Amino acid sequence: MINETPRILSKLIACASLLVLAGCASAADPTAMSVSVQATDRPFPQPLQHAMCVRDVTGGEKTNPLWASKVDNEGFKAALNNSLGSTGLAAADDASCHYKIDVNLLGLSQPGMGFDMKVTSHVNYKVYDATGQAFVLETIDAPYTATVGDAFVGVERLKLANEGSIRVSIQMFFDKLRDSKPK
């Protein structure tokens, strides 16, 4: 009689490894959090164009692979920089940056589990002019729901919801910039 134990054991290990890999959380992808200009978008005030840069991002969290997907400071900063670049707001260098942006990620409201996962990001955006005066101070709450159709695995669905929420937040911030009156 052939001993089946090693074969069964290897199958069990393979299944366990797959489960662990599928269940590992990964950090939000900056590209997926970035926004690009749409044909229907209103223009930004002229003084802001090619004159903005991101100075500081705080409040983000590193992702623990055994816990839940999060958004870290570097990822948020990269996403905002990408978005400024693609919408024509980014300054070419530090010298031409007349409007500095500070971001405080207050936190992400995430569900513990669920089919449809709704994440709401709460972010404070602060924009300072060349004299150091704050001219935009906005607290933005941005919800986004990822469904089972977007991703079957829960940790991946949560990551998509995080990314979508930050994308919506940056879009809402840009809408505030469009309404602003910079000197």
Nearer to another protein, 59 or 65 (CB): 59
CB of 47 to another protein, least distance (A): 20
CB of 136 to another protein, least distance (A): 9
3-state SS of 4-63 is CHHHHHHHHHHHHHHHHHHHCCCCCCHHHHCCCCCCCCCCCCHHHCCCEEEEEEECCCCC
Nearer to another protein, 28 or 91 (CB): 28
Amino acid symbol at 114? G
Nearer to another protein, 49 or 124 (CB): 124
Nearer to another protein, 92 or 153 (CB): 153
CB of 122 to another protein, least distance (A): 5
Q: Are 69 and 162 in contact (CB under 8 A)?
A: yes
Closest-CA residue to 71 (of 34, 101, 100)? 34
Nearer to another protein, 141 or 150 (CB): 141
For another protein, the binding residues (CB under 8 A) are 59, 67-68, 104, 106-115, 118-120, 122, 124, 126, 134, 137-139, 141
Q: Degrees (nearest 5) of the Cα angle 38, 44, 49?
A: 105
The number of beta carbons lying within 10 Å of the beta carbon of residue 63 is: 21
Joined together, the tokens standing for residue 131 give 């004299």
Beta bridge mates, 142:
121
Spatial separation of the C-alpha atoms in residues 108 and 100, rounded to whole Å: 24
Closest-CA residue to 168 (of 28, 31, 33, 26)? 33
CB of 109 to another protein, least distance (A): 4
CB of 17 to another protein, least distance (A): 18
Nearer to another protein, 41 or 150 (CB): 150
CB of 100 to another protein, least distance (A): 15
